[in-house]
Amino acid sequence: MKLSSLEDELKRRAMAAFSLDEKAAAGFSLSAPPPHIKADISIAWPIAGAKLLKKPPLKIAAELKAALAPDFDAEAIPPGFVNLKLSDALLLEELRELDKADYFKRPEFGGQKINLEFVSANPTGPMHLASGRGATLGDSLARIWRALGAEVSTEFYVNNVGRQVELLGRSLKARFEGAEPPQDGYQGDYLKAMAAVLPKEASGWAEKQFSEHAVSEMLKLHRTDMKAFGVEFDRWFLESELHASGAPAAALAELKKRGMAYEKEGAVWFGAPAEAESEDKDRVLVKSDGRNTYFLNDIAYHLNKFSRGFTKLVDIWGADHHGYVPRLEAAVGALGAGLGSFKVIIHQQVALKRGDELVKMSKRAGDFISLKELVDDVGADACRFFFAARGPNTHLNFDVELAKKRSNENPVYYVQYVHARICSIFSNAPEKGVDPAAGFDAGGVVINPEERALMLKLLWLEKTLADCARDQSPHHLTTYLTELAALFHTFYDKHKVLDPENKEVSAYRLFILKAVKSVIARGLGLLGVSAPERM
């Protein structure tokens, strides 16, 4: 029985015992007890339910224990916990199931069709560190949601229309002509390198051609950088496609039709409906000079996503876009999709730490460390694990020296080493006179505390993935893998695995380690990190 199935069953028992509906039992969940408690599963719900049921928590715990008997080995302890011990047979049975491709699928994710847009860096320069953090967040979430059973399509939105692209073209043209870019243009050396390989006929190009060429070259770099980072997008959506289809004009017409657009001072404004939960309601859609704002174009883009059949839209944006979220959610929600169907995840910036010094970055000035430089320096695995290790709302100081260490101080090395160590154990088994494929008598197994801790931790991966989906962050998974690695080291330091004089125990322990190896590989894979067989 998977933990999610066990939780559902225990919740049903509690609802029946206390005559609760789904809303009243919403807080019912399982948790792992602290190490000093000799139990496998803990239920803290009696403490939260005391106010609702108007009973002392310990009395509720005792009644819940009675409701679970005789099918579950439960104990009620102060101040109001119910602790359970799982049977050895259940633990061994679940470890055999972990390898199944659909083991982690959950019914609540079935039927979801998610469009996940992330990175979407303006094609005006190389990818920077914030792009790497957004790419890690988006790609990891896509992998996790798919593992849970959702259908996910990843997308990169290319802003290849507008003033920034025009400035990029002017900056490239200036470099080609041996001049300095405009003061508000792009100063980076990457444009010098691009200008140096332009054909001679570029001397006759119009400014628009310089813009188009610069965008094309930047997109090649972006695609290359993302591929090297282990990220493949299902679609690269050009803003020019949106305009070619007339989508902004159609969106504006729909807003006017619904009375959500009005004219003032020669411009067209968005007026959010009264029910929209936003203090940021009225914003310009079309400027007085007739040019669309990004706001109107973005509304049109998200309506385009819904027209493609997606049931849920998730965008991942950098912190500098935080103030833009309420108005776009209000607009997209007001057009009939519903506020719950569109979510923006904001991630904070990345500070690069070299020794004790923090490196300052400015993309327009060209004084910044590119994502490619960081990947070349520390590797994609370390980049992705470090970026994933903090929730998106947390500022991240990326310690370059730590990321390069090949020791247990480096968290990604610490986890990967476990996978490599287990691979080595299996490779050495025949030399030690142990058959790595041998079976064992499950009925004769005596599970020691270190083995039990490993087994239980393996079962918690399912709940960990659900936590990642709930909080829209993979940081729970990096924590889980680090804790699993620590439990492996504790087990391995105390117990011999390959013992030719006790082949039954060897086979049983290899069975456990095979499951550990599988879960480590799967967890790292969901983070886009490799699971090496040798280190």
Digit-coded pLDDT (tens) for 35-49? 888 999 999 999 999
Are 130 and 155 found together in one domain? Answer: yes
103 falls within a domain: no
Are 37 and 127 found together in one domain? Answer: no
What is the torsion angle, in degrees rounded to the nearest 10, for the CA atoms of residue 481, residue 484, residue 490 and residue 491?
Answer: -130
The rounded mean pLDDT for the chain is 93
Q: Which domain holds residue 20?
A: 3-86
276 falls within a domain: no
**For 252-271, what is the mean pLDDT?**
92
The CATH number assigned to the domain holding 31 equals 3.30.1360.70
197 falls within a domain: yes
User: Rounded CA gap, 276 and 335, in Å?
Assistant: 11
Q: How many CA atoms lie within 13 A of 330 on its CB side?
A: 21
Are 425 and 505 found together in one domain? Answer: yes
447 falls within a domain: yes
102 falls within a domain: no
Are 418 and 378 found together in one domain? Answer: no
User: Rounded CA gap, 420 and 437, in Å?
Assistant: 18
Digit-coded pLDDT (tens) for 177-233? 999 999 999 988 899 999 999 999 999 999 999 999 999 999 999 999 999 999 999
**For 94-110, what is the mean pLDDT?**
93
Digit-coded pLDDT (tens) for 510-531? 999 999 999 999 999 999 999 9
Digit-coded pLDDT (tens) for 154-172? 999 999 999 999 999 999 9
The CATH number assigned to the domain holding 422 equals 1.10.730.10
Are 16 and 80 found together in one domain? Answer: yes
Are 363 and 236 found together in one domain? Answer: yes
Are 124 and 74 found together in one domain? Answer: no
Residue by residue, DSSP assigns 280-308 as ---EEEE-TTSPBPHHHHHHHHHHHHHHT
Are 516 and 423 found together in one domain? Answer: yes
Mark which of 66, 86, 106 sits at the end of a domain.
86
144 falls within a domain: yes
Are 386 and 416 found together in one domain? Answer: no
Residue by residue, DSSP assigns 372-430 as HHHHHHH-HHHHHHHHHTS-TTS-EEEEHHHHH--STTSHHHHHHHHHHHHHHHHHHTG
**For 398-423, what is the mean pLDDT?**
96
Q: What pLDDT sits at residue 320?
A: 84
Are 394 and 463 found together in one domain? Answer: no
Enclosing H/E stretch for 156? strand 151-158
Please tell me the total count of domains within the chain: 3
341 falls within a domain: no
Are 201 and 140 found together in one domain? Answer: yes
271 falls within a domain: no
The CATH number assigned to the domain holding 379 equals 3.40.50.620
Query: Does residue 323 or residue 239 have the better pLDDT?
Result: 239
Are 57 and 153 found together in one domain? Answer: no
Looking at the predicted structure, is the pLDDT value of residue 13 above 80?
yes
